[in-house]
Amino acid sequence: MENPTSIVLPDPTERPTLTVDAVAEILGLDRKTVYSAINSGELPSLRVGRRILVPTSWLAARITPDSDDDDQFTGLRSPRSQHPAQGELPL
């Protein structure tokens, strides 16, 4: 039997992007929380017309455990969120 808390992502080669609703369902978050993460730069996105899409490979690289490294979740913020306008100043 599959672990009910396991995260199942589609293959990035078959489905390169995910909708906001799909990301919210996969992560167990509310749509508003996903939109907030996109707007703050914590979650990268692509805008195609009126649709906002999240790269599947980026999400998979951050939530799929592929090593026993304790620092696996360090540096989760996307480069956009590290811009000085987002609160971090370069040294």
Domain boundaries, the chain: 20-65
What was the pLDDT predicted at 50? 94
- Residue 39: φ, ψ to 5°: -65, -30
What was the pLDDT predicted at 72? 46
Mean pLDDT within 52-78? 70
Q: What's the pTM value of the predicted model, to 2 decimals?
A: 0.65
Q: Is the pLDDT of residue 31 over 50?
A: yes
